[in-house]
Amino acid sequence: MEMATQMTFDRATTSLFPTQAPSKGGSTLVTVDIVVLVVYFLLVLAVGFWSMWRTKRSTVDGYFLAGKSMTWWPVGASLFASNIGSGHFIGMAGSGAAAGIGAIAYEWNGMFMVLLLGWLFLPIYISSGVTTMPEYLQRRFGGRRTQLFIAVLSLFIYIFTKISVDMYAGALFIQLALKWNIYLALVLLLSVTALYTVAGGLAAVIYTDAAQTAIMLGGALTLMGFSFAEVGGWNVLMREYTNAIPTIRVPNSTCGIPREDAFHIFRDPVNSDLPWPGVIIGMSVPSMWYWCSDQVIVQRSLAAKTLTHAKGGSLLAAYLKVLPFFAIMLPGMISRILYTDEVACADPELCKQICGNSVGCSDIAYAKLVMELLPAGLRGLMMAVMIAALMSSLTSIFNSSSTIFTMDLWKNFRSCASEWELMIVGRVFVLVLVVVSVLWIPVVQASQGGQLFIYIQSISTYLQPPVSIVFLMGCFWKRTNEKGAFWGLAVGLTVGCIRMLLDFIYPAPMCYEEDSRPGVLKYVHYLYFSVLLSFITLVVVVGVSLATEEPTPEQISRLTWFTRFDPVEPKDQVFSVEQGVERRRPGSVNGQARHHRTDSSVSSTRTQSRFMSVLYWLCGMERQREGDVSPAPAPESTICTLEEKPHLRLIVNINLIICLSVTVFIIGYWA
């Protein structure tokens, strides 16, 4: 136990230069790779600037929702690209190398959930006229505390499971390619990301995501082809994976031995790493939070021009999520076969020499394939894909995080804050996020036996089920009230945080160590704990809601599945007097316009000078300099419409049945 804890602190100061010689020559980037890398960055920036100029970013809807003008294909591609970032390339391939295909269940479970977003949750969000999830809870339940609770929790989840993990994965890739220290690589990544953020706007992010999706899939499928050609085909993969045992390992232990159930998704319900009842139920609840109520994901769907296009985007994302199994996970398993002693190293000292991580080196599986198998040029392209995917994820998360902090937290405590103050606070908070995320990276390295993907999912399991239950009950049970939602969150998150803290205090033992953890950790798998946590939260929400007053009509109308077609009533200012905030109209939630109209003339005067214009541009706040007059908001009836053309609705519904059938088939085949 002390040994595992010590590893955590040692890695904070240890350089991660691999000392083992590469398997083949030429495994670092050469000139042609650097050229490809630079050209790709220029192309991505060109797409970003093109989309920036074609979208009116001076309005809140224009900047944060891309003018609500997106069609189905960029929405679907952006949903996929936002989900499949560098963390997935590193983490999922690493899980495949370490434990087989079990972790792909998270991806295929996500296929159901993204369809659930399009058909069940999104109509409610659209009819309510909100554009952030804390705002939906504020409208649905009233008061501030549930909104603040979710805002703070969202920031924690972004730091622990998204920002730091993506940064670590991208930096690990750069470190393996260029032999740089991982923290030096982080500084480079964050510098380039800051430049990309300047060109921001959701339209720029979505269109660059679409371009990156095409390149990402093209590069990943190309690497898959090289991998299968090198290993000798499908049958060799199935046979040789179980024989990929490193030559040096701890004797009389399971270290380095592949799992017998490596090619099964549904595994033993008691003793396996992913028990099948937990996969079916415990995995679905946190997945529902991610796909149906996470700001980054929902914001993209709300940018669609109609509900039909949003559904089409969900369908495209669901179809694309079939591919990571073939393009990421199987190559990770092949990497174990080709480079067994490195990827599957089982001796702590040797692992530290190879990748700087005593726990294991499975997370280098994908990068190892890229650097060893791909010819010059394609290596640079895959590097560009990884870094661009990372930057896209970070800009989206930084934008959502700073908006939630500024508008849902800071604004609540400083209702008199000027627009200038809000903009400065938002940017400073991004820097705070970056620092905290960098400090958290050593913990990420030490967690979950080097399996980055499993680390992400286990942390999610402790924090997300209570939020999923509150959103689920708020959307589909009219009797849910503010007290029930708040106390459900409070109790559920308290229990979840206790389990999460125990996990860090008592880390899982190494394969050669005896398991001396408390029984709640040793015998209750985190997926089973997810089921238990969901049930506890559900009982509290239902019990407290029934024991207290009913919600008011304003907290129900157009805010639940059963009231989504209620007549539109002007309710812009319902909460404005009490909260000291000019209540955001539908479509202005992230928005840093429509607040403090009295300051607009001052802001306009300030920003007329060339110096201030340049300052705004350099700070990524160029979109706000036109403070002259905020444009009139679109009529609520336009914003909230759920109308669909019958023939298009029929097409997407038929595709829904096909997509669900495909999902059930592939899960059943590999179960």
Please write the tens of the pLDDT for every residue from 82-116: 787 777 788 888 888 888 898 899 899 999 999 99
Average confidence (pLDDT) over 141-164: 81
Q: Taking the C-alpha atoms of 626, 630, 635 and 641 in order, what is their torsion angle to the nearest 10 degrees? A: 40
pLDDT band at 612 (very low <50, low <70, confident <90, very high): low
Contact 590, 637 (CB under 8 A): no
| Of 148 and 587, more confident | 148
Angle separating helix axes 182-198 and 378-403, nearest 10 degrees: 70
- CA 80 to CA 319: how far, in whole Å? 10
| Contacting residues for 32 by C-beta, under 8 A, at least 6 apart | 376, 377, 380
Instruction: Please state, as a whole number, how many other Cβ atoms lie within 10 Å of the Cβ of residue 58.
Output: 17
Residue-wise DSSP of 22-74:
PSSS--S--HHHHHHHHHHHHHHHHHHHHHHHHS-TTSHHHHHSGGG-B-HHH
3-state secondary structure at position 423: helix
Please tell me the predicted confidence (pLDDT) of residue 17.
Answer: 31
Distance CA 70, CA 616 (A): 27
Distance, CA of 339 to CA of 328 (rounded, Å):
16
Nearest CA to 44 among 209, 176, 168?
209
Structural domains of the chain sorted by starting position, each given as residue range(s) with its CATH number in brackets? 21-61+70-595+641-670 (1.20.1730.10)
Burial class, 271, CB count within 10 angstroms (exposed 0-12 / middle 13-18 / buried 19+): exposed
Q: pLDDT higher for 333 or 586?
A: 333
Given this model, what pLDDT does residue 56 score?
56
Confidence (pTM): 0.79
For residues 262, 267, 271 and 274, what is the CA-based torsion angle, rounded to 10 degrees?
A: 80
DSSP 448: G
- The pLDDT of residue 651 is 93
Task: For 237-248, give one letter per residue: b (16+ CB within 10 A) or e.
Answer: beebbeebebee
Rounded-to-integer distance, Cα 361 and Cα 331, Å? 15
Measured in degrees and rounded to the nearest 5, phi and psi for residue 660 equal: -65, -40
Average pLDDT over residues 312-325: 93
- % of the chain exceeding 70 in pLDDT: 72
Average pLDDT of the residues in 46-56: 69
Distance CA 610, CA 621 (A): 14
CB atoms within 10 A of CB 6: 12
User: Tokens at residue 207, please?
Assistant: 């269109």
pLDDT digits (tens, 9 = 90+) for 384-407: 777 767 776 777 777 777 777 877
| pLDDT confidence of residue 143 | 80
- Contact (Cβ atoms closer than 8 angstroms) between residue 149 and residue 485: no
Residue 570 reports pLDDT greater than 90: no
CA–CA dist 5, 649 (Å, integer): 55
pLDDT at 347 > cutoff 70: yes
- Long-range (24+ apart) CB contacts under 8 A made by 121-125 are 121/292, 121/293, 121/298, 121/471, 121/475, 122/298, 122/301, 122/302, 122/307, 122/310, 122/311, 122/314, 123/307, 123/561, 123/564, 123/642, 124/475, 124/559, 124/560, 124/561, 124/564, 125/298, 125/302
pLDDT at residue 659, rounded to an integer: 92
Is the distance from CB of 331 to CB of 222 less than 8 angstroms? no
Q: Which string of DSSP letters, residue by residue, matches 284-311? A: HHHHHHHHHH-HHHHHHHHTBSSHHHHH
Tell me the C-alpha distance between 543 and 552, whole Å: 18
Q: Which residues pair with 152 in a beta bridge?
A: none
pLDDT at res. 432: 79
Which pLDDT tens digit goes with each residue over 480-506?
Answer: 999 999 999 999 999 998 988 888 788
Rounded CA-CA distance 59/534 in Å is 39
Model confidence at 618: pLDDT above 50: no
* AA identity, residue 265: I
Give the burial class of 418: count Cβ atoms within 10 A of its Cβ; 0-12 exposed, 13-18 middle, 19 or more buried: middle
First vs last C-alpha separation in the chain: 35
Nearest partner of 423 among 406, 409, 408, judged by Cα = 406
Give bridge partners of residue 142 from the DSSP assignment.
none
- Segment holding 501, helix H or strand E: helix 482-505
- The whole-number pLDDT of residue 519 equals 80
What pLDDT score was predicted for residue 456? Answer: 66
Mapping DSSP to helix (H, G, I), strand (E, B) and coil, where does residue 508 land? Answer: coil
Distances (CA, A) of 348 to 92, 250, 358, 623: 22, 9, 4, 51
